[in-house]
Structure 1
């Protein structure tokens, strides 16, 4: 999706016997290698053949190319590929990853990165400055996904095997940009030899430098993807670590709950609030964390009834924001504008509230509402996502009382996204529901990806075309580097434009991550800068 920014349902062994009320169909077991079990030979302190299992509710891989990848495969890719830097949520600072040090000139237009020694790609090729330069330049040339993170880069020079020098067109925080969750990956551009690299990636191959490499990929299968330890990983395999990672696609929460019961998976970001509460009450290893991920309801400004701004504002006002947050029972928090708290660009005091009288007045002004012409709207949302279904149910009930029929349809992500991007505008939905989170720890991606105009829609599924808005967005990165106060004002003004004036979006809530881990698993740190990613290498299997 850009990616469908979606909360992934993952099962866990931690809540075994806590969710006995949940049923589901039969699921293939994992035998004696359940991730919650003590690994044989673990006492010796070496890496053992222990498997860590996810149960995402979506197909894992949309795009295998690290240059253009922009979807749910982040949960795998961040374990396969690495970037120059990584954002540490605990310190709120950028830390080393493939680069061990970096410096910037006083005007932030020249950056020098020192690369880590003795790093190899999974292809066997050494990772040096020329290879890193080639990867970034190819990503820039592809111009897909989050490649815009490198837009400020004018040139790159490999000064020697371990030194990369960047010259920028304008000031930018390149250390932060290089920590992005997509498009910052460094990879071996020579992996396909004389062949087509994009086609080579599409076969389910990888050319990363991370701790894990692709073992098997079976599109459409329950266990869609499995990773295995890369023996040549620069970090080594000392201590007890997971040697394999599996991704078991589990669209239904009831099935995910059964996986929890049966102890076949090792981590759950959230099954649902009730199950999380049960796990917490029974003393399971749980944690709740604020996220940088929010739910967006995007209104079609180009075709259909919501071309009328009055109807868009009416739908905004019809949403029961407080009721949704209450029903989520801790899994969601009130949103204040587009940008979640904790990110540069957040504006407090912008929480939207339900206003049924205001909604009815706007509908009547447009000739609809009680006593007026019936109005029919279509909405698409993620199949298997109980929270998005809750929004659909509550909004449908509210609108029905206002003589508006909401046809809310749950779809698999690829189907939902393809329909929204259809060249036949009549096939597109009136309201598109999806999650969004930043490409790096800054608000910029909401504005440039979701709302900036483009010739063909990708994630700008309001289909907004507003030159004045685009001009302001294009100045945000440089403004943030040279005048933060002015940048914050611009972020506030842009949110006023999108939400209040143009009414192209509603933000029902911000996601709170509710995590449940297998008993004994240690080393997990929730990092909303990499949503739903578990850096499996950092975990220690539990006894």
Structure 2
């Protein structure tokens, strides 16, 4: 899941030149129709199975498959998608969803309550990807042709779970075993697979599903293409030439240029994607909480935000703004005097023992490289050496599972729009550690984390208090991590496209059906 952004952050400089006027729309094909062309720097599909997919392909699968609900960034609640309504019991342990009538899968089979039950049960049985989002579910019952009831082991916000970016898809279980080669899919969404060429630049093409329940009676893109263009300069040039429609991330310099470019629209908004430095609390020198606190004090938070231009905003606490669990007025500040004092108390610092810390970060991620470079410069006068190693994500993650570094740098965004994801996935004790790459074992924190899903449903006021207590404990008492920034997405797309809205619960996803192409 956390692979997608390891090479997506682009820090570019272009020589000064006259910017040509851009076309407002991608040039039409032989049939006179313009496709929506999404360009990114990594392969789109690594896993076609909607139950286990947990990576880049979310940008395509969210246009092919649908979930029961979708998170609404305006209301900050779940909204209807395949389910038109839902109710929950007073104890938050029973949920009934009423489905949209007359929906069919791309196979032509009906999407009914039995199909919902079958697809979610299959996803749960895979025990892979983000299938853990359904851990609260004890039973699923078909209570009518278009009604399905979930009985939970404990209270949980199932309407939010059902909107997750991963593992919440409803699919045709009778067709899903044939999706592995990318020749077909098992979805119900507005688009279906038209062609896939693994490893090719023009990797994936989707076409409109004529039987889509939303209909096609107004202007829509009937073709969607995903193109892999690793060179960021070339992606910008292709956008200006009208060869592609959308670029998911621009450097601050390029974004400023895009704002001034005729025929190009831009979007600039904070995400739910946080940068994190996770400290090894189990092995090595950072077992000493004084050293972890010293590192927290040493980071130049304001300087990093300036260095990243418009690509980041300050992080306050653990959970980003806009989600339950966000804590205002927790902006960290650099305090080198306090850092020096803590180092000296632990026997390090100038005149003390030299300290070397190993750090791993994402190869190709320019923002993380800036973080590492600036941190090394800050620590050097304090007699601390930073041994930093850029790594491809899977290799970094495997190393992290072996507890073989002092500091692990990575991004985190939630599976669904709730602050629990950071606490339950990143900080809760577990064997193997999976994403708890601080290796923290804190029974008190675990107890509070385990209560959050129930409290979110039954007692939001206490949930808010618990979120804040957890943030204080993990950052102040245990000093297990640092959150230096929240990623700020800076997009560019052709001016003939209207209807684009960035939904931070679905990182980098463009819901193409909602767009309006120019005439």
TM-score normalised over the length of structure 1: 0.87
1:81-100 alignment runs, 5 A limit: 81-100=65-84
Which residue pairs with 2:200 in the alignment? 221
User: Partners in 2 of 1:502 and 1:139 — Cα distance?
Assistant: 35
Which residue pairs with 1:36 in the alignment? 25
Which residue pairs with 1:364 in the alignment? 344
Pick closer, same or farther for the CA change 1:389–1:247 going to 2, 3 Å: farther
Instruction: Confirm whether residue 443 of structure 1 aligns to residue 395 of structure 2.
Output: no
Match of 2:448 among 458, 463, 472: 472
Which residue pairs with 1:15 in the alignment? none
Which residue pairs with 1:28 in the alignment? none
Instruction: Confirm whether residue 267 of structure 1 aligns to residue 251 of structure 2.
Output: no
Tell me if structure 2 keeps the 8 A contact 1:9–1:269: no
Tell me if structure 1 keeps the 8 A contact 2:273–2:413: yes
Instruction: Confirm whether residue 61 of structure 1 aligns to residue 45 of structure 2.
Output: yes
CA shift for structure 1 position 506 = 0.5
Which residue pairs with 1:491 in the alignment? 467
User: Partners in 2 of 1:172 and 1:75 — Cα distance?
Assistant: 27
Structure 1 residue ranges, 4+ long, deviating more than 6 angstroms after superposition: none
RMSD across aligned C-alpha pairs, in angstroms? 2.7
Per mean C-alpha deviation after superposition, the further-off stretch among 352-361 and 137-146 is 137-146
User: Partners in 2 of 1:212 and 1:218 — Cα distance?
Assistant: 17
User: Partners in 2 of 1:383 and 1:68 — Cα distance?
Assistant: 25
Which residue pairs with 2:20 in the alignment? none
Tell me if structure 1 keeps the 8 A contact 2:65–2:169: yes
User: Partners in 2 of 1:218 and 1:35 — Cα distance?
Assistant: 28
Tell me if structure 2 keeps the 8 A contact 1:252–1:384: no
User: Partners in 1 of 2:190 and 2:10 — Cα distance?
Assistant: 21
Give CA deviations for 1:95-116 in whole Å, capped at 9, x if unaligned: 2111122222333332221212
Which residue pairs with 1:233 in the alignment? 212
CA shift for structure 1 position 140 = 2.1
Instruction: Confirm whether residue 249 of structure 1 aligns to residue 228 of structure 2.
Output: yes
Pick closer, same or farther for the CA change 1:163–1:505 going to 2, 3 Å: same
Which residue pairs with 1:388 in the alignment? 368
Pick closer, same or farther for the CA change 1:407–1:245 going to 2, 3 Å: farther
Pick closer, same or farther for the CA change 1:465–1:59 going to 2, 3 Å: farther
Instruction: Confirm whether residue 171 of structure 1 aligns to residue 155 of structure 2.
Output: yes
Q: Which runs of 5+ in 2 are unaligned?
A: 18-22
CA shift for structure 1 position 528 = 0.8
Which residue pairs with 1:379 in the alignment? 359
Match of 1:117 among 90, 95, 101: 101
Q: Which runs of 5+ in 1 are unaligned?
A: 12-17, 23-33, 43-47
Pick closer, same or farther for the CA change 1:460–1:519 going to 2, 3 Å: same
Instruction: Confirm whether residue 404 of structure 1 aligns to residue 380 of structure 2.
Output: no
Give CA deviations for 1:405-425 in whole Å, capped at 9, x if unaligned: 22333333233323323xx44
Which residue pairs with 2:505 in the alignment? 529
- Tell me the secondary structure at the aligned position of residue 242 of structure 1: coil
CA shift for structure 1 position 338 = 0.4
User: Partners in 2 of 1:466 and 1:478 — Cα distance?
Assistant: 20
Pick closer, same or farther for the CA change 1:104–1:452 going to 2, 3 Å: same
CA shift for structure 1 position 459 = 1.8
User: Partners in 2 of 1:150 and 1:494 — Cα distance?
Assistant: 23
Pick closer, same or farther for the CA change 1:381–1:248 going to 2, 3 Å: farther
Give CA deviations for 1:222-271 in whole Å, capped at 9, x if unaligned: 34433333333222333332233333334443343343344322122331
- Tell me the secondary structure at the aligned position of residue 464 of structure 1: coil
Which residue pairs with 1:355 in the alignment? 335
Tell me if structure 2 keeps the 8 A contact 1:256–1:271: no
CA shift for structure 1 position 164 = 0.9
Which residue pairs with 2:313 in the alignment? 333
Instruction: Confirm whether residue 206 of structure 1 aligns to residue 182 of structure 2.
Output: no
Which residue pairs with 1:538 in the alignment? 514
Tell me if structure 2 keeps the 8 A contact 1:35–1:265: no
CA shift for structure 1 position 316 = 1.8
CA shift for structure 1 position 160 = 2.5
CA shift for structure 1 position 20 = 5.9
User: Partners in 1 of 2:4 and 2:294 — Cα distance?
Assistant: 26
CA shift for structure 1 position 3 = 5.3
* Alignment coverage as a number of residue pairs: 511
Which residue pairs with 1:455 in the alignment? 431
Which residue pairs with 1:26 in the alignment? none
User: Partners in 1 of 2:337 and 2:201 — Cα distance?
Assistant: 48
Tell me if structure 2 keeps the 8 A contact 1:35–1:266: no
Per mean C-alpha deviation after superposition, the further-off stretch among 84-93 and 473-482 is 84-93
Pick closer, same or farther for the CA change 1:76–1:40 going to 2, 3 Å: closer
CA shift for structure 1 position 202 = 4.2
Instruction: Confirm whether residue 429 of structure 1 aligns to residue 405 of structure 2.
Output: yes
User: Partners in 1 of 2:189 and 2:179 — Cα distance?
Assistant: 16
Which residue pairs with 1:342 in the alignment? 322
User: Partners in 2 of 1:222 and 1:351 — Cα distance?
Assistant: 42
CA shift for structure 1 position 481 = 1.1
Give CA deviations for 1:168-206 in whole Å, capped at 9, x if unaligned: 3333322222111112111122225xxxx4xx5544453
- Tell me the secondary structure at the aligned position of residue 345 of structure 1: coil
Pick closer, same or farther for the CA change 1:107–1:177 going to 2, 3 Å: same
User: Partners in 1 of 2:214 and 2:513 — Cα distance?
Assistant: 9
CA shift for structure 1 position 507 = 0.5
